[in-house]
Amino acid sequence: MIYNDTIAAISTAPGVGGIGIIRVSGMDAIQIVDEVFKGVSKKTLQESPSHTIHYGHIVNKEGKVIDEVLVMLMKAPKTFTREDVVEINCHGGPVPLEAVLMEVIRKGARLADSGEFTKRAFLNGRIDLAQVEAIMDIIEAKTEVSLSQAVNQLEGKLSKQIKEYQDTLIQIIARIEVSIDYPEYDEDEPLANDFVDEIKALNDQLKKLLATADTGKMIREGIKTAIVGQPNVGKSSLLNALLEENKAIVTDIPGTTRDVVEAYLNIDGMPFVLLDTAGIRETEDIVEKIGVERSKESIEKADLVLMLIDSSRALDEEELNIINELTNKTVIFVLNKIDLHSVITQEILEQYTKGQPIIQISAMKQNGLDTLRQAMKQFIVKQGISIGQEATISNQRQKQSLVKAIESLDKVEDTIDIGMPEDCIAIDLHDAYGHLGNIVGEALKDEIIGELFSRFCLGK
């Protein structure tokens, strides 16, 4: 796609250091920058080779120097947008940065909308939609692991996988369509039977990919970890100890943590979102009851539960009730306050934990926290989350398209089972192909594209 306008924006975050970059992209990008840039070299940018750096100054219409700059010249098509791109690295801080941008706009560039550079890259076929989303994920990545997942996707792991599935489908579709067009081609045997195994195998692969959606989401957004237990067992103390800061208020009045406190924790690059819930307890106190409801909600939403127990006092019935509610969850039992005289030992607790791990700690004395962190990391290993090995589905939009593709293939399998004619199969195969295409953004509606790019910040 060729645009006849040239866009420009500040592409670095505002207010960070003295250096900022102005990105200019489009047909007239080079000519526009030539008009405001006085380089040390005799050659204009137009005359210079692509992918070179030029030192000089940006001057205004009176010929006055605005800023000392380095200009990166990148000629189409080997650029991010596949258009001519010039990046001006300014050194003078926010005021000259704005002034340089104004000069570029005065010479005919238009201020870019949010995400417009990425949108051009997408519409010019430089990247696909899964990669667009990866760029957003990279900007928002919580930890190194989240980042590496996003980078994988940007490199096209998912896109490549989807293309392979589409290729397989196209071959099946082509053969089926031949049999529809030339029914005499093989009359004795219904042709579809040839493809049953191939379609099943493909559908199985799609289902496998779908299974990565939950882990993909966890890596992207953080593993939701609920810290639960009776009031006063040390939930807030543990949260603070893990975060090494005073995020939650620690008190010895039972039930003080009334709201859920949320915080990010990075364990060797693995992202966790910790949720400190109010003590789970049947209660008449209305304020506390709201908190109790919230903590049940957070258990439900949690990927991982840290069930905290005070080792210095006996288990009560309510605690046993909570433990029973945790049956479908991955739980780490945390026996706290081991610095005190212990009433509950590991052996006693083991009778209730159904083989789930028990870690002994003192949140107050900061003992056992490393072991707990290792156990939390172990959760990731058990989930079979492998970073960088395979393509993963990492957001809801991709997931929904994949689910629809699987539904279409399920229908195909059913149709074959009941012996319907081939043309019925072909329609569903085409549908499956289309849904797969949506993952990488083939034939997407303009509104969806508009909505997506508006979520970017300016200059990207």
**Comparison of 146 and 257: residue with beta carbon closer to Zn ion:** 257
216 contributes a contact to ligand GDP by CB under 6 A: no
234 contributes a contact to ligand GDP by CB under 6 A: yes
337 contributes a contact to ligand GDP by CB under 6 A: yes
460 assigned binding-site residue: yes
Residue 219, φ and ψ in degrees, nearest 5? -65, -35
277 contributes a contact to ligand GDP by CB under 6 A: no
360 contributes a contact to ligand GDP by CB under 6 A: no
Q: Which helix (H) or strand (E) holds 376?
A: helix 369-382
232 contributes a contact to ligand GDP by CB under 6 A: yes
Distance in angstroms (rounded) separating the CA atoms of residues 22 and 458:
11
Residue 45, φ and ψ in degrees, nearest 5? -65, -40
Residue 44, φ and ψ in degrees, nearest 5? -75, 170
For residue 362, what are the β-bridge partners? 367
Coil/strand/helix, residue 309: strand
The string of DSSP letters for 41-100 reads SSS-TTTSPSSEEEEEEEE-TTS-EEEEEEEEEE-TTSSSSSS-EEEEEE-S-HHHHHHH
The b/e string for 133-166 (b: 16+ C-beta within 10 A; e otherwise) is bbbbbbeebbbebbbbbbebbbebbbbebbeebb
292 contributes a contact to ligand GDP by CB under 6 A: no
Stretch of residues binding ligand GDP (CB under 6 A), selected from 47-55, 153-161, 232-240, 348-356? 232-240
102 contributes a contact to ligand GDP by CB under 6 A: no
| Residue 301 C-beta: closest distance to ligand GDP, Å | 19
13 contributes a contact to ligand GDP by CB under 6 A: no
Task: Retrieve residue 55's tokens.
Answer: 């030192």
% helix, strand, coil for the chain, step of 5 = 45, 15, 35
23 assigned binding-site residue: yes
| Residue 236 C-beta: closest distance to Zn ion, Å | 3
Task: Retrieve residue 272's tokens.
Answer: 């966790």
279 contributes a contact to ligand GDP by CB under 6 A: yes
Residues with Cβ within 8 Å of 274's Cβ and at least 6 positions away in sequence, in order, are 225, 227, 239, 242, 243, 261, 262, 263, 264, 265
| Residue 356 C-beta: closest distance to ligand GDP, Å | 20
**Comparison of 225 and 438: residue with beta carbon closer to Zn ion:** 225
441 assigned binding-site residue: no
**Comparison of 156 and 231: residue with beta carbon closer to ligand GDP:** 231
Question: What is the size of the binding site for ligand GDP (CB under 6 A)?
Answer: 20
Point out which residues bind Zn ion (CB under 5 A).
Answer: 235-236, 257
Contact in structure between 37 and 101 (CB atoms under 8 Å):
no
| Residue 366 C-beta: closest distance to ligand GDP, Å | 9
The candidate with the shortest Cα–Cα distance to 218, out of 160, 301, 299, 157, is 301
**Comparison of 34 and 310: residue with beta carbon closer to ligand GDP:** 310
181 contributes a contact to ligand GDP by CB under 6 A: no
277 assigned binding-site residue: yes
Task: Choose the contact partner of 408 out of ligand GDP, Zn ion, none; CB within 5 to 8 A by kind.
Answer: none
237 contributes a contact to ligand GDP by CB under 6 A: yes
Residue with token string 């067992």: 233
- List the binding residues for K(+): 232, 251, 253, 256
Residues that bind ligand GDP (CB under 6 A): 229, 231-237, 250-252, 257, 279, 336-337, 339-340, 362-364
Annotated binding site: 23, 87, 126, 232-237, 251-257, 276-279, 460
Which residues line the annotated binding site for (6S)-5-formyl-5,6,7,8-tetrahydrofolate?
23, 87, 126, 460
